[in-house]
Amino acid sequence: MQIFLLIILLSFIVLNEFKSTKHVHKGLIDDFKLEDYPYVMCLKILLPNKRVETCTGSLVAELFVLTAAHCVYGKDKKDLKVYQGTRIKSHDSRNVVKMYVHESYNHTSEVMIGDLSILKIEKPFSHIEEYIRVGGSPIDFANNKYLKCIVIGFGIINAEHERFIKQIMVKHGRKACEGYDSVQIIDTWQQYLCEIPNNHKTYEGDSGGPMICNNLQYGVCSFSININGGDMQTVYVFIDYYRKWVNDIIEPEQSTSISAKQKRLKKNKINQKNDAKLIIPHYTLYIISGILWYTM
């Protein structure tokens, strides 16, 4: 009977010794839930005149944020801060340690090509375990097919209005964008995804924001076209066109990061085992002593 009681008590102590609870603060990006889109990032950009600009980005890997090149071109990485969600409500930010801008981007050209940038942050957001995967292909738009997608951005940052999330219809093809015969689009339409024109205005802070279709990020918010009648058409960089460039940056460093993470986990497991060996006998002595005293 004493041996049976001893086994039960030991099991109870061991289970409680190593049980942990992970608490994550569930904030809101205004009226949609942050936990639904944990990978949406807000970029705070400090200008030389001490003004602050805002752009949007997406966490596509543990340490990598995808955004628009025109948001960060010519900026110093020390003047960039990356926040999860809006920078007004969130104080959890990361510094940028590396900045990649696509080599074809030209800020003086009237033709917007290569409008992509990848930012490497100093360390992971500890509570984020979900990243948005890049996907999409021109095949998805075959036979003039439209896709229903959502877009997210932090266009106006103030107390009343600090974000938008909107469902849109998206198309791709030679005549998908308004002004398809213009110099800005006629030779580069393969690189774009265009939403069906509407009266929604895209603000500067929405730049770099993700277009999400079929639970994958298809596009990055780039520029808008004004249309007669007051409507606008926002144009997104089609990531598929630049997928090799994105993968060539992320995959090598991601492999190194995973390897280092695996080593840390292995080391932690070894330490936990060693700690367990030291802790369990310590409690065992107290339990055995208590049982012996009780039965005397």
Q: Does residue 142 lie in a domain region?
A: yes
- How many of the other CB atoms lie within 10 Å of CB of 110? 8
Q: Does residue 4 lie in a domain region?
A: no
Residue 163, CA distances (Å) to 166, 194, 202 in order: 10, 21, 11
Q: Which stretches does DSSP call E strand in 230-271? A: 232-238
Q: Does residue 132 lie in a domain region?
A: no
End residue of a domain, out of 121, 149, 181: 121
Q: Which domain holds residue 98?
A: 38-121
Q: Are residues 49 and 143 in the same domain?
A: no
Q: Are residues 75 and 160 in the same domain?
A: no
The number of distinct structural domains making up the chain is: 2
User: What CATH number does residue 80 fall under?
Assistant: 2.40.10.10
User: What span, in angstroms and rounded, lies between the C-alpha atoms of 62 and 45?
Assistant: 21
CA angle, 62 then 64 then 67, to 5°: 140
Q: Does residue 212 lie in a domain region?
A: yes
Global pTM value: 0.75
**Spans of the chain, pLDDT less than 50:** 4-30, 157-159, 278-279, 285
pLDDT at 50: 84
Q: Does residue 33 lie in a domain region?
A: no
* CA-closest candidate to residue 95, choices 111, 110, 78, 112: 78
